[in-house]
């Protein structure tokens, strides 16, 4: 006789076990030790059960950080909404992003520095506007462009470059074990000043 399908409460319990197992293995062995088979064994479920929740190992791993990333995204939106001066807004939003990455390096590494294992299929890219930080930067740079204060032609491209510059600074400081580099909390602020100063004209 076929087993009846799991009810909503049972599925939620299974999902929590799967995510907890993935987080434990990642914490113990790093990305190289994480596989669907290992997660299934740790969680006490079949590999097919995992695939009923997630399309790939990458989507499962990214789900581990969706809640804290959603929280900081809401904080960034609230912060941006509270600052009328666009230049001050750029600085404040970028500094808040850096603070989050410095306080939660594992979350930042997992959510934004996650390297897809070569054995896993490439995911369908999401629109860049889904990233709250990019959307806030682009909107603020459009505002500065309308005021004649932008030194570059394309506010969206400038927003992407601004995000890339800070992201790269954090990635270097958080992920580099091979070299002695300046800590992110010291390296990122002057990078923010440099990037903002490069795209915003003094008036």
Give the Cα separation of 30 and 28 in Å (integer): 6
Give the Cα separation of 29 and 42 in Å (integer): 13
Sole residue written with tokens 């490439």: 122
Give the Cα separation of 1 and 102 in Å (integer): 53
pLDDT digits (tens, 9 = 90+) for 77-93: 999 999 999 999 999 99
Q: What are phi and psi of 150, to 5 degrees?
A: -100, 135
Sole residue written with tokens 């490069």: 198
Burial class (CB in 10 A: 0-12, 13-18, 19+), 101: buried
Residue 46 binned pLDDT confidence (cut-offs 50, 70, 90): very high
| Closest listed residue to residue 151, CA positions, set 189, 195, 192, 188 | 195
Residue 63 binned pLDDT confidence (cut-offs 50, 70, 90): confident
Given a cut of 70, whether residue 145 has pLDDT beyond it is yes
pLDDT digits (tens, 9 = 90+) for 177-201: 677 888 888 999 999 999 999 999 8
């Amino acid at each position: 006789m076929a087993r009846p399908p799991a009810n909503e409460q049972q599925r939620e319990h299974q999902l929590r076990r799967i995510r907890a197992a993935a987080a434990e293995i990642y914490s113990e062995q790093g990305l190289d030790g994480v596989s669907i088979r290992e997660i299934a064994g740790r969680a006490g479920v079949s590999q097919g059960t995992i695939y009923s929740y997630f399309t790939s190992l990458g989507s499962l791993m990214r789900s581990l950080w969706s809640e804290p990333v959603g929280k900081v995204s809401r904080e960034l939106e609230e912060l941006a909404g509270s600052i009328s001066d666009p230049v001050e807004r750029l600085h404040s939003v970028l500094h808040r992003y850096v603070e989050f990455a410095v306080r939660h390096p594992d979350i930042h590494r997992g959510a934004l520095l996650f390297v897809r294992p070569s054995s896993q299929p490439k995911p369908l890219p999401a629109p860049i506007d889904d990233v709250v930080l990019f959307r806030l930067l682009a909107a603020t740079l459009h505002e500065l462009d309308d005021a004649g204060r932008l030194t570059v032609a394309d506010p969206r491209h400038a927003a992407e470059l601004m995000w890339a510059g800070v992201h790269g600074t954090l990635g270097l400081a958080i992920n580099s074990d091979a070299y002695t580099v300046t800590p992110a909390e010291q390296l990122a602020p002057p990078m923010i000043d440099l990037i903002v100063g490069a795209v915003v004209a003094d008036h």
